Structure 1
């Protein structure tokens, strides 16, 4: 997908400009944004935050990115497949800045196996990067757990929660729903509590102390642990 203006992309079929700082946020809530201006912007962190604010709660950001395998001191601008590259971040730096902006589920897809450019020994490759919004919010405990299927021994999400293969990991209602959705869908086995309380009757879940969920909780034989007084989410903010 190309566009004559490097700063422009598509948001639900509507032209989107990363520099439209004066836009009404209520009028700019999109389910998805496809952004083409990544390599034309020197301040990606600020732009990522702006894009995050313009997405709906479970929205997705997708953009093509030319990334370097080493830090770039001086970049000689070039164009690849209609994408102008005036600025390049390293491969890990993109995910780091997206996480800082609040995104989760960040995924890289390699578009070109060979470098699209080599400058002073630094290789540049073309990726498609996607990131999701929706992990913010209060964490409520309904007795849910998930079992990570593998094949890795364990995996860690963007909030630092570790999921051991084959182990019932206790999660809050919000995280449970996220893990059942893209891009995590199919990687976890859901384990719902047989007698889960209504949301308005649920205690807060302490995301700072991940633990194994006792099967007796799932079967309703012992109470769901956690209370509004003890949880890190007791102030009504997200601890994730």
Structure 2
């Protein structure tokens, strides 16, 4: 599999058969196992756990963008429920979903504290998704009187302040995945919109490796959340972790990645 680091084990006896097994991670960090049947055996084989091979498959291999092994436990909070992020161990979650969490009135949910707890509980590369009603300007909670299911909304954060809070909490790749031109509600001159935000906890530096990236365009230049500026067509050396974070965005296809530590043979011939 070109571009992917794999692990193979031959002659594995498992489930009354002898097999050859392959382990590989896809670009999203998912572990795939492939089995090739070699023949039947008369006894039940002990097999081999893929867990034993995980450190080998996801250990900063030479392949560009080889993702690290990740846990897949997620936590979701909905408006009206008790927030239980504190009950999760450090870096134990692959995803945190906060639905209506920041639309609760009163001191029960503090924005900065909640984001700090989400950061603590998420593993590097873990995702944070927020579903919230936001406003384009500050509004007094006492002025809120919304119809239907929205009547439960007791607080509406300002959209720009929420985005700034995510940046202050060190989340990266912050994106508005739902943010429509027309508001859901109007209160005087204030517009209230359904807002969905996706971001992630950046990958940690992976073994000190680097990658050389070339931004293909269409813009003159772009800058990531770590301050790396990529001018169109210019080679920029970044930590492998920066490339891993960039791969989680829709912009990944606008970059060419080179392994700074390898000498790949020419693919179009030599002269």
Q: TM-score range by the shorter chain?
A: 0.5 to 0.7
Instruction: Classify 1:49/1:79 alpha carbon distance in 2 versus 1 (closer, same or farther; 3 Å).
Output: farther
Q: Is the 8 A contact 2:127 2:199 kept in 1?
A: yes
Post-superposition Cα deviations, 1:171-222, rounded to whole Å, max 9, x if no partner, equal 11211222233454323211222538xxxxxxxxxxxxxxxxxxxxx99xxx
User: Is the partner of 2:253 in helix, strand or coil?
Assistant: coil
- Mapping of residues 75-86 of structure 1, within 5 Å: 75-78=143-146, 84-86=152-154
Deviation at 1:79, TM superposition (A): 5.9
Q: Which moved more, 1:147-156 or 1:183-192?
A: 183-192
1:102, 1:168 → 2: CA distance? 26
Q: Is the 8 A contact 1:65 1:128 kept in 2?
A: yes
2:103 corresponds in structure 1 to: 39
Deviation at 1:111, TM superposition (A): 4.9
2:156, 2:86 → 1: CA distance? 27
Q: Is the 8 A contact 1:76 1:86 kept in 2?
A: yes
1:131 corresponds in structure 2 to: 199
Q: 1:174 aligns with which of 231, 235, 241?
A: 241
Q: 1:29 aligns with which of 87, 92, 97?
A: 92
Instruction: Classify 1:108/1:83 alpha carbon distance in 2 versus 1 (closer, same or farther; 3 Å).
Output: farther
Task: Say which structure, 1 or 2, has more relative contact order (CA 8 Å, 6+ apart).
Answer: 1
1:195 aligns with 2:258: no
1:56 corresponds in structure 2 to: 123
1:103 aligns with 2:167: no
1:48, 1:189 → 2: CA distance? 33
1:187, 1:152 → 2: CA distance? 10
In terms of Rg, which structure is larger?
2
Q: Is the 8 A contact 1:69 1:122 kept in 2?
A: yes
Q: Which moved more, 1:105-114 or 1:51-60?
A: 105-114
1:94 aligns with 2:162: yes
Listed as ranges, the gaps of 5+ residues in structure 1 are 1-10, 197-217, 220-240
Q: Is the 8 A contact 1:178 1:184 kept in 2?
A: no
Post-superposition Cα deviations, 1:21-49, rounded to whole Å, max 9, x if no partner, equal 651415x8221222111222652111111
User: Is the partner of 2:131 in helix, strand or coil?
Assistant: strand
1:70 corresponds in structure 2 to: 137
Listed as ranges, the gaps of 5+ residues in structure 2 are 1-71, 266-271
Q: Is the 8 A contact 2:171 2:200 kept in 1?
A: yes
Post-superposition Cα deviations, 1:107-132, rounded to whole Å, max 9, x if no partner, equal 10235431111113011111211111
